[in-house]
Amino acid sequence: METSNLKLQNFVMACMLAALVFYLLIVGQTILLPLVIAIVFWYLINLMSGGFGRIMLGGNPLPTMACYILSFLTFFAIIWGIVELIASNIAGVVRVAPIYQANLEVRWESFLAFLRIEQEPTLAQLTEELDLAQFITGLAASLTNIAANMGLIIIYVIFLLLEQGNFSEKVASLANSPDKEKRVTLLLSKINEDVQKYISIKMLTSSTTGILSYIFMKFVGVDFAEFWALLIFLLNFIPTIGSIVATIFPSLITLVQFDTYTPFIVVFVGVTAIQVCVGNILEPRLMGNSLNLSPLIILLNLSLWGLIWGIPGMFLCVPLLVISMIVFSHVPATRPIAIMLSRDGRISEIYED
């Protein structure tokens, strides 16, 4: 009886703790979201610094400080270029939105005529409250708000880079013994190795998908091909769902851009073929079991983080979920959580110290 009561108390406490965490995530979004983005940027800068460290200059590797400076400048130059690309393309979409709206109405009337629906409702009646240009402008405003936090994010990144030199000392203080310190350090090293593998492979496969899609869409003549290629690159960090959405967006824009259905079919088939070849053939061979996530968990995770942090949360949630699964798989106490997150129960083996 006492054991049952103890289990019930533990369950209630766990539920209360989870509710408190979600509440703090929602209330503290203004502070926590820039910090989480900064941590992601900090890790990517460290990963990029390792790449610069392999560059030989006069037979010697680049100095560590030079590697970090180059990584920091290169990374934020890439971010700035992406922001500029998105802003310029959104402005272009706003300009041609009325043309797209008119073509969409023609497609809608043709679709209803094909179904032989009498007294068909117009697209304007169904989307009475929808203003495409206003929607795109609102999206631009959201991106502007994110860009406004870039100064704070950069400050966080700088302090994280300055603090990381003391990390080993903190681990030693927490371990309290050389043997425990060695085990913890080895475990962290193995986790870091798997996370780096995941990020490197995902960057490679997403870049490949984006570049091939750009070349294909440019050949067909799709408007804003570079923007859709960038969107495909970003959405491919969201397994399964991201690739589907990344295929739908450029296909729909092709549908309303051209007067015939042929470009729509060509783009849909072509981008889908690229997604299938890279996502279902190349990536599994490179990734192994590192991305063995349950589709149901992915859907729940997307919905949850979309509710908590909106669009930024949806982009961050699945990569963070994969990283969490990698971490959980290496810690014996949290291994059951990793198994529950996986698709088929097969996860990376725990390394023995």
Q: What's the pLDDT tens digit per position in 145-169? A: 666 677 888 888 888 888 887 777 7
Whole-model pTM? 0.74
Q: What is the pLDDT of residue 126?
A: 44
Calpha distance 153→228 (Å, rounded): 26
Cα(37)–Cα(149) distance, integer angstroms: 10
Q: Which helix (H) or strand (E) holds 84?
A: helix 64-115
Given the structure tokens 């994280």, which residue do they identify? 160
- Residue 352 has what pLDDT? 42
CB 292 within 8 A of CB 344: yes
What digits encode the pLDDT tens for the residues 181-221?
Answer: 777 777 777 777 777 777 888 888 889 999 999 999 999 88
Tell me the average pLDDT of the chain: 76
Going from the C-alpha of 40 to that of each of 45, 80, 190, 319, the distances in angstroms are: 9, 16, 18, 10
Report the distance separating Cα 83 and Cα 74, nearest Å.
14
DSSP helix/strand/coil, 56: strand
Q: Where does residue 121 fall: left (phi above 0), alpha (psi -120 to 50 degrees), or beta otherwise?
A: beta
Over the range 119-150, which residues count as b (16 or more CB within 10 Å of their CB) and which as e?
Answer: eeeebeeeeeeeebeeebeeebeeeeeeeebb
Distance of CA 170 to the CA centre of its chain: 30
Q: Quote the DSSP letter at residue 280.
A: I
Instruction: Evaluate if residue 83 carries a pLDDT over 50.
Output: yes
d(CA 251, CA 235): 15
Q: Where are the beta strands (DSSP E) in the chain?
A: 56-57, 60-61
Please name the residue that has the structure tokens 């996370």.
195
Query: What is the domain partition of the chain in residue ranges?
Result: 28-175, 178-353
pLDDT at 211: 93
Confidence of residue 142 (pLDDT cuts 50, 70, 90): low
- Residue 281: which residues within 8 A CB-CB, separation 6 or more? none
Return the DSSP state at 277. Answer: I
Q: Quick: pLDDT tens for 296-332.
A: 887 888 888 878 887 778 777 777 787 777 778 777 7
57: helix, strand or coil: strand
Say yes or no to pLDDT of 222 above 70: yes
* Contact (CB, 8 A) for 246 and 176: no
Task: Give dist(CA 175, CA 284) in Å, integer.
Answer: 37
Q: Please give the Cα distance from 324 to 178 (Å, whole number).
A: 27
CB 120 within 8 A of CB 269: no
In angstroms, rounded to a whole number, what is the distance separating the alpha carbons of residues 304 and 296?
12
Rounded distance, CA 71 to CA 46, Å? 8
- Alpha helix (H) residue ranges in 164-240: 167-175, 178-220, 225-235
